[in-house]
Amino acid sequence: MKPNGDANGVTALEVSAVSHSYGSKRALNDVSFSITPGNFTVLLGLNGAGKTTLFSLISHLYDTRHGSIRIFGNDISRAPGEALRRLGIVFQARTLDLDLSVYQNLSYHASLHGIGAREARRRIDALLASVDMADRRHDKARSLSGGQMRRIEIARALLHRPSLLLLDEATVGLDIQSRAGILATIRKLVATDGIGVLWATHLIDEVEENDHVVVLREGNLVAKGNVKEVILSTGMNTIREAFSQLSGLDAQQSEGLAP
């Protein structure tokens, strides 16, 4: 597949021949793909496929020892500051301080990025409005539902205006309405702001027809391309059937790919 790039030929994210091991256990094996600015890419994989390990490497929580990762041309190992400046992350685990208010959580994060108080207030107000949480700005985080917490984490990840957003199983544990709302919020960002998104999930119903898809199985990249290309490469009729085949699932197991 031809590498994705913006008008200047720079990719939002380029993962090249990345491998990673935990002792003798290989978690990723020679993984390569790229993401276009303004593109929604779904990283599909069952639990243990390597999605979280890959996110930890992209976000520089782990050092990349085999292969390279570039964010808008900046190598995460050689220029981590510049690379991470372009990156926003929403991890699977909840990370809000439950004893602080929504505004305090966001304000603290803004200060970590060197954003002044006046500018932070302006950005926080705009982002809370964009995720439909403006009326909860003074509420403590512990009073929010799971879906509301996730919306605040998304707002927080966008405070420093990244060009690439990573979300690791962002809808796990949420009800159907909350899941749909989170997905709609992120897809709107792609359409209106041109942000690049890597959305990791094992839930096949979160994939839409125009998405790009990267499929991991036991640390190996087994398919990549747009939805139609991945379906055609397997000889299946739907993306659910294609993912089931690529992941080695039988018919009964594939029923677990949606809540």
Q: Work out the end-to-end distance of the chain between its first and last CA atoms, rounded to an integer number of angstroms.
A: 32
Q: What is the pLDDT along the chain (259 residues), one digit of tens a residue?
A: 333 444 456 799 999 999 999 999 999 999 999 998 999 999 999 999 999 999 999 999 999 889 999 999 999 999 999 999 999 999 888 889 999 999 999 999 999 999 999 999 999 999 999 889 999 999 999 999 999 999 999 999 999 999 999 999 998 888 888 889 899 989 998 999 899 999 999 999 999 999 999 999 999 999 999 999 999 999 999 999 999 999 988 655 666 565 5
**Encoded tokens for 145:** 């539902």
Give the DSSP H or E segment for 31: strand 25-35
Q: What is the spatial order of strands in the sheet that 220-226 belongs to?
A: 74-75, 66-71, 13-22, 25-35, 220-226, 212-217, 40-44, 196-201, 164-168, 87-90
Among 228, 166, 159, 161, residue whose Cα is nearest residue 193:
161
Alpha helices in the chain (DSSP H): 51-58, 80-85, 102-112, 117-130, 146-158, 176-193, 227-234, 239-247, 251-254
Beta-carbon count within 10 A of 251 CB: 8
Sorted by where each begins, the domain ranges of the chain are 1-86+162-259, 95-161
Residue 195 burial by CB count (10 A; 0-12/13-18/19+): exposed, middle or buried?
Answer: buried
Output the CATH code of domain 1-86+162-259: 3.40.50.300
- 232-252 confidence digits (pLDDT tens): 999 999 999 999 999 988 655
Give the global pTM: 0.89
Among 75, 66, 77, 74, residue whose Cα is nearest residue 28:
66
- 14-25 confidence digits (pLDDT tens): 999 999 999 999
Q: How far apart are the C-alpha atoms of 173 and 228, rounded to whole Å?
A: 29
